[in-house]
Amino acid sequence: MSTAQMDSTVVNVGVAGRVQPLTRAGIWVLAILAAANGLFLYFLPAQAETHYAWSIKPPVNAAFIGAGFLAGTLATGLVLAFATRWRTFSTLPIALWVLATSLFTATLIHNDRFKFDYPPTWVWTFVYAVVPFAVPYLVFRQRANADPEPQADPKLNVVRIASAILGAGILAGAIALFAAPVDLGKHWLWPLTPLLARAVAAWYALFGTMLISCAIGMRRPADAIIPYATLGCWSVLLLLLPVLHDADVSGGALWYALMAALVGLSAYALSIGLPDRRNL
């Protein structure tokens, strides 16, 4: 082997599996959009009735959507700040694809509810029309340069099994709510229009898909850090909604149990993943 070939081999080994610049640029865009939406919707939810892509009321609905965006802000922030390897967050893109595709479908179904004379509405529509195509493209580029898949660490077995069970249940419920927003939406903890029921379903579909993806794809303890920190953040923010919007929320014992289970799973997964954080 020539010196040039040896040098090339060393370079390829060094860069295999690393986060590519184009992927990182896309994550920056997502981080900015998630932060802008999350801060506005969660902390100023009453404003979403008149200053969002569609009229969102009561405010608890805006705060629910904002919680998802804030969790996404944490996820993208952790990736940008600490992740150097694609494997660290490779379980997340399919969940993002599910969210974007679901929200774009809901936008098409309920297009009469959107304010297309309002510029932010076109930003919303453009983002959710583009992301379902951009995500597979970036994933394809990363996988083409992926490093070898390691053996699954036995420490993750319990997390993977619990994630598969909870993820499958959440995803099934999300699909049902998206398909029958009127019949199922009337049993929710707070008032939902058909559009809002589908938006709620889209966020649950994201996290259900993420849990299934983690159950299948996690190999190293460090792989759990970003997804389960995101899940834990989202779950805690949602559990605060009945406190912050007590006048709009009633019932929901099973919902509280589910969200508490997700907090517990997140804490357990992080207890395994954080000691391995050097491998982010």
pLDDT per residue as tens digits for the range 25-76: 999 999 999 999 999 999 999 999 999 999 999 999 999 999 999 999 999 9
Instruction: Look up residue 235 and give its two tokens.
Output: 């779950």
Q: In this structure, is the dihedral angle defined by the CA atoms of residues 252, 166, 30 and 109, taken in order, positive or negative?
A: negative
pLDDT per residue as tens digits for the range 224-274: 999 999 999 999 999 999 999 999 999 889 999 999 999 999 999 999 999
Query: How would you class 21 by CB atoms within 10 Å of its CB: exposed for 0-12, middle for 13-18, buried for 19 or more?
Result: exposed
Phi, psi of 93 (to 5 degrees): -55, -40
For residue 89, pLDDT over 50 is answered with: yes
pLDDT per residue as tens digits for the range 195-209: 999 999 999 999 999
Instruction: Look up residue 160 and give its two tokens.
Output: 């993977």
Mean pLDDT of the 10-25 span:
74
From 24, 37, 177, select the one nearest 86 (Cα to Cα): 24
